[in-house]
Structure 1
């Protein structure tokens, strides 16, 4: 049987070396984990930023469409009085025309009666 003798300072050095190696491995694993987490967060933020950009572009397009609709509505409002007549205005105008026609009919009838009265 062989006896292995280790002095105290060699044992302390070996323990310190093992502890340093262990803590170094833990620190390296922690750094790798933090790097992966950082990359994952960067990817998520990039995706979110892309989605926000798409939403903003969609909002801009929607705003343009609403402005176009508002402009067309204003054009329609300006055009309506020129193209269409309200019912009351039409009835009033029609009444005037009918009154004039009635007056003309009375004159023609009076003229016919005078002509008939002279011819008898």
Structure 2
């Protein structure tokens, strides 16, 4: 059997620990670079989402100026028709009274 000196064993173990530490640093550095890239991508996507939200808020503000809801249109139409009916009844009653 070969005998290993204590200093050789400690040196080999130390070199192994240093190599593992260096590999860990390389892995972590690459991991952080990958995370930074993903965060940049997320920030770009977030900016596009913000622009879309702003466009939707603007559209929501402009819609009432350009379009009328169906229920509002029906209600306004019914009110107008009621006024025309009332006017027709009034004209008919006035015309009925003035006949000889």
TM over 0.5: same fold? yes
Look up the match of 1:40.
34
Find the aligned partners of 2:54 and 2:15 in 1 and give their Cα distance. 58
Q: Is 1:90–2:69 an aligned residue pair?
A: no
- For residues 57-91 of structure 1, the C-alpha deviation after alignment (integer angstroms, 9 at most, x for no partner) is 211111110000134458xx7xxx7x996222112
1:24 is aligned, of 18, 25, 34, to 18
Query: Is the radius of gyration larger for structure 1 or structure 2?
Result: 1
The residue matched to 1:86 in structure 2 has which SS? helix
Look up the match of 1:112.
none
- For residues 3-29 of structure 1, the C-alpha deviation after alignment (integer angstroms, 9 at most, x for no partner) is xxx9x9xx3333333222211111110
Equivalenced residue count is 92
TM-score by length of 2: 0.67
Mark the runs of 5 or more structure 2 residues left unpaired by the alignment. none
TM-score by length of 1: 0.58
